[in-house]
Amino acid sequence: MRVLLNPSAGSGRAPRALSSLMRTREDVDWVRTRSAEDLQQRVRAAELEGASALGLAGGDGTVALAAAALTGKNRVPWRVLPVGSGNDFAAQLGVTRASLEGSPRRVDLGRANGHRFCCVASLGLDTRALEIVHGSRWPRSRALNLWAALRALLSYQPRVVRVTWDGGSFEGPIMFVAVTNTASYAGGFRVSPAARLDDGLLDLCIVRNSGKARLLRQFPRIFQGTHGELPEVTLAQSRRVRLESDAPLPVALDGELPRLTTPVTIECEPAALTVLT
């Protein structure tokens, strides 16, 4: 097996996290990628070569980069080695440690205006928090994500958005909207506790404007996945979600700085990946 190691994953901690496995598994071709473009080229090369399996050592961003390298379903099954700062995709697969074995399983991906993501497309408070995370000198971690979210809450001004999904719609000021493929993102924020990776559906979470003080008090419920009981929260499942606004608003994918703006059409890509779990 060849394993593509993203050396920047986990704020540079990934190679150290895999040092023991790399010493003991000399039968594995360990490749440190040089850039996002290099990783994607190697993913495409593995498909052309018809490798038996391909390892991806990194976090959710690494998986999303690899998924974006392909235009269709992968022929070579992937084994995710969770050594990033956010490993929610691997956690949803039941992968909790770096291992090279597994059985094949088909799982879904999300697609926003043609851009693939593995965990989440988000709008609102999330995008402000990501600016803080990416501007920080501290290593990326769940603690940094939490601190950034709380700090962003102080300066965030609710935006009016229109959200439509199969069987429902909403228009009004929001704190954030998350369209997820996984139950959690950002290192354990359980925004969509009912989400599954193989149901052919995306999970939608809308938190309407309810006042910053109230949202701050309710923050712990997001970690527990019990926020769906709150009156300002809407949870739904849909094959397709449309996000619109009068003025363009940034939409982030898988914890990276936004590259998209509304309007955005987000769709589930059923059984898009074969992974080893």
pTM of the model: 0.92
Q: Start-end ranges of CATH 3.40.50.10330 in the chain?
A: 2-102
**Which class would CATH give 120-270?**
mainly beta
What is the token pair recorded at 67?
Answer: 């998924």
**Which class would CATH give 2-102?**
alpha beta
- Cα separation of 78 and 46, whole Å? 10
- Cα separation of 257 and 20, whole Å? 33
- Cα separation of 15 and 4, whole Å? 11
- Cα separation of 263 and 257, whole Å? 17
- Cα separation of 74 and 255, whole Å? 23
Q: Start-end ranges of CATH 2.60.200.40 in the chain?
A: 120-270
Tens digit of each residue's pLDDT, the chain (277 residues):
899 998 888 767 777 778 778 778 878 899 999 999 999 999 999 999 988 899 999 999 999 999 999 989 999 999 999 988 889 999 999 987 777 888 999 999 999 999 999 999 999 999 999 999 888 888 888 788 889 888 888 889 999 999 999 999 999 999 999 999 999 998 888 999 999 999 999 999 999 998 888 888 887 887 788 998 899 999 999 999 999 999 999 999 998 888 899 999 999 999 999 999 9
- Cα separation of 116 and 39, whole Å? 16
